[in-house]
Structure 1
Amino acid sequence: MTVLVDTARIPAHGRWWAHLASDTSSAELHAFADLLGVPRRAFEGDHYDVPVERIPEAVALGAELVTTRELLARVRAAGLRTPKRRGEKVLSTAVVDGHRVDVVRSAGVPAPHGEHRVARLVGGRLDLTDDGDLPRVAHPGAVPGVQPGVVAGFRRRWTRTPAGLTLHHDGVVLLADRFPGRLPDRWWTPLLHPG
């Protein structure tokens, strides 16, 4: 088990923050964060943001104290680094059929991109339909930070080939008439399993 915590001092929300990451797996990172009592909302795709006052506790539980540069290098070398653009929030990550899949909340889909998919609830479960005619309006307030008429986020698939790493992005649009209320917690989970 190799969980890393850095010595970063990042100011935000009136506190100072460090990063908790794993150079082994996302599952290991989530298990350690649970043990440390770090809420899932602090997950940023490849690391957790943790208050700096929790660093000694993380080290006592077995995390290795490293510099930010070393943490980034080790997470990148392990293939677990999740790059993101300003305004993006990685909601979840999984490895499915040899592909790494990220679900990212964002108002736009980066290139290279594939289709826009329409999300709808079917029997309490999120389902994706084919592109068809893209809707004009997303459900306002269904997802924090998502405005009407924009993409709610995207699913990014990473595939390793002999030629290198390839990326594919699918936009996800939420239809107002398909979501009469707020979305259920962890609504994005079915997006981790591309069909």
Structure 2
Amino acid sequence: MTVLIDPPTWPAHGTLFSHLVSDTSLAELHAFAASIGVSPRAFDLDHYDVAAERYEVAVAAGAVPVGGRELARRLGASGLRVPGRARRATKADALLARWDALLPGAREVGVELVERWHEPHRVYHGPEHLVHALDSLALLEGRPPGVPDAAGSPGHAGTGAPSGPGGSAPGVTQLALWFHDAVHDGEAGRDEERSAALAGARLAGRLDAGAVDEVVRLVLVTTDHSPAADDRTGALVSDADLAVLASAPDRYARYVRQVRAEYAHVPDDAFRAGRAAVLCGLLAGSALFRTAEGATRWEERARANLTAELAALDSPA
């Protein structure tokens, strides 16, 4: 790991601040910051703001002093950098505003979820993924990105109480995305089960039992992204979760770096083998996206991205 720090030139709160970053691992960045007494509250998605009086302490502890441009370049190359536009949307207050509009009167649940999505060990499965999934769902449901379709009061969900598979309940699909990676410990299958259980516990009494059960079911759909042919709501959630696969080349490359950074503890050979198996599994299916809208928007580009990534894994040099 390399921890980098730029000069304290950023004014705020009556002093100057440096940026402290890692070009390898957020987990190790958090550990380094804690070791020199920097508060967790100083963390801002991909860096710590370090007051000028702590600069020499950080350097003495092993942080490498670099200029601001070099720090930005190294952070960008690492895959850990969160761009400005995404940064604004992933801030806690912006996410909480979206949650409050979706499920009024449940602020404490929203606070817990936002805290979970901002957990230090997350790189790809963090707030940027949540925002992208919610905005992708909005496109599929015909809503402007960033504008929730409120889940309403207990007994209601979205524009109406949810039907079974194949029904349409926008509020329920959004709630499923809020909860779908709420537990992320890197245990495939178990994470989805725990996230679904969390949804059931936190939504009980806030929506009718049928709506809660539907959210739980939809969270579990993201385990294998294989909704039944008549499962419209499941298809919406699955497609929104996978929409990042169809990103523009620069965004997809950042996604690939983020995934690698999230598994920085895995040796290269083992990671390449595991990642190749995931990619081959995705490409082997007849369709990545199960809604007509998703297939039209994203299928071709997603397959091109996955195929290019797989080729790169076969030629690691």
Q: TM-score, normalised by structure 2?
A: 0.36
1:61 alignment counterpart:
61
Return the alpha-carbon distance in structure 2 between the equivalents of residues 8 and 82 of structure 1: 21
Residues 76-129 of structure 1, C-alpha deviations (whole Å, 9 max, x = no match): 111111113375555626777xx812216xxx879963256235865469x994
On the 8 A contact 2:16/2:52 being kept in 1, the answer is: yes
Which one has a bigger Cα radius of gyration? Answer: 2
Q: Amino acid of the residue matched to residue 82 of structure 1?
A: V
- Contact 1:8-1:67 within 8 A present in 2 as well: no
What secondary structure is seen at the aligned counterpart in 2 of 1:100? coil
Distance in 2 of aligned mates of 1:111 and 1:124: 19
Q: Is residue 2:11 matched to residue 1:6?
A: no
Specify the alignment match of 2:137 in structure 1. Answer: 114
Measure the CA separation in 2 of the matches of 1:160 and 1:7. 38
1:165: which partner in 2? 251
C-alpha separation between the residues in 1 aligned to 2:51 and 2:3?
16
Pair 1:100-2:119 in alignment: no
- Work out the number of aligned pairs and report it: 139
Once residues 2 and 42 of structure 1 are traced to their aligned partners in structure 2, the CA distance between those partners, rounded to angstroms, is 19
Q: Residue in 2 aligned with 1:52?
A: 52
Where relative contact order (Cα < 8 A, 6+ residues apart) is larger, the structure is: 1
8 Å contact 2:30–2:120 — kept in the other structure?
no
Task: Tell me, in whole angstroms, the C-alpha distance in 2 between the residues paired with 1:66 and 1:95.
Answer: 25
Superposed CA RMSD in Å reads 4.2
Deviation for aligned residue 1:50: 0.7
Partner of 1:31: 31
User: Which structure 1 residue ranges, 5 or more long, are not aligned?
Assistant: 131-154, 169-195
Distance 1:111 1:25 in 2: 26
Distance 1:79 1:109, change over 3 A: closer
Provide the C-alpha distance between the structure 1 equivalents of 2:21 and 2:39, rounded to a whole number of angstroms: 14
Q: Which has the higher helix share?
A: 2
Q: Which has the higher strand share?
A: 1
Once the two structures are superposed, residues 41-90 of structure 1 have per-residue CA deviations (whole angstroms, 9 ceiling, x without a partner) of 11111100010111100011000001111101001111111113375555
Question: Which residue number corresponds to residue 22 of structure 1?
Answer: 22
Preserved CA contact (<8 Å) 2:8 2:17: yes
